[in-house]
Amino acid sequence: MKIELKKWSLDDKKSLSEVCSRVDRTYLSNRLPSPYTEDSAAWWLNMACEQEGHSGIFRSINVDGKIVGNISVEQKSDVYQKDAEIGYLLTTENWSRGIMTEAVRQICDIAFAKLDIIRITALVYEPNTASRKVLLKNQFVLEGIMKRAVWKDGHIYDLCVYGRLKDPL
């Protein structure tokens, strides 16, 4: 199995729409539109292409040449400008295959090399044990738990805050 991260292009509108329409949204932010239309994909791809390498790294997750997910690291602003937040999603049929662990490893390397940051933050709903394990395998450390911080689909979740620091120079 070959796992690659590729820069998004405006031509990927249909693939992005298909992936985002098929993902399990249980532990995803509501800012991901539902349904995820090609217009939604076009808006996001334009933003990603404009911000790429400046304030974020945006990649498709490809397995054996097929797009199966999305991953990004977006730099924060103001006094938080040396921090960035990672976010990712993967189609359910590709869960538990080591794909996301490898994708997170790759994008962290890229983000630390290309963005002017010293840390990456990940915010994960407490019951999302699979995502939490992915982060731990990639040198993220649980820094704290925000109690009852998320309201999603009628459920209140604790929010786990993970951080990974850039290796010393």
Q: Which residues of 53-64 are buried (b: 16+ CB within 10 A; e: fewer)?
A: eebbbbbbbbbe
Q: 4 pLDDT band (50/70/90 cuts)?
A: very high
Domain 3-118 fold is Aminopeptidase (3.40.630)
Q: 161 pLDDT band (50/70/90 cuts)?
A: very high
Q: What is the mean pLDDT of residues 83-98?
A: 96
Mean pLDDT of the chain: 96
Residue 167 pLDDT: 79
**Helix (H) or strand (E) run with residue 162 in it:** strand 155-165
**Residue 40 phi, psi (nearest 5):** -60, -45
pLDDT in tens, 23-70: 999 999 999 998 999 999 999 999 999 999 999 999 999 999 999 999
pTM of the entire predicted model? 0.95
Chain-centroid distance, C-alpha 53: 16
Q: Domain boundaries in the chain?
A: 3-118
Crossing angle of the two packed helices 38-51 and 13-22, in degrees rounded to 10 = 110
Cβ–Cβ < 8 Å for 43, 8:
no
Instruction: Say yes or no to pLDDT of 140 above 80.
Output: yes
Question: What would the two tokens of residue 28 be?
Answer: 């995803």
Closest of 93, 85, 99 to residue 134, by C-alpha: 99
DSSP 114: H
Question: What would the two tokens of residue 68 be?
Answer: 């199966």
pLDDT in tens, 107-129: 999 999 999 999 999 999 999 99
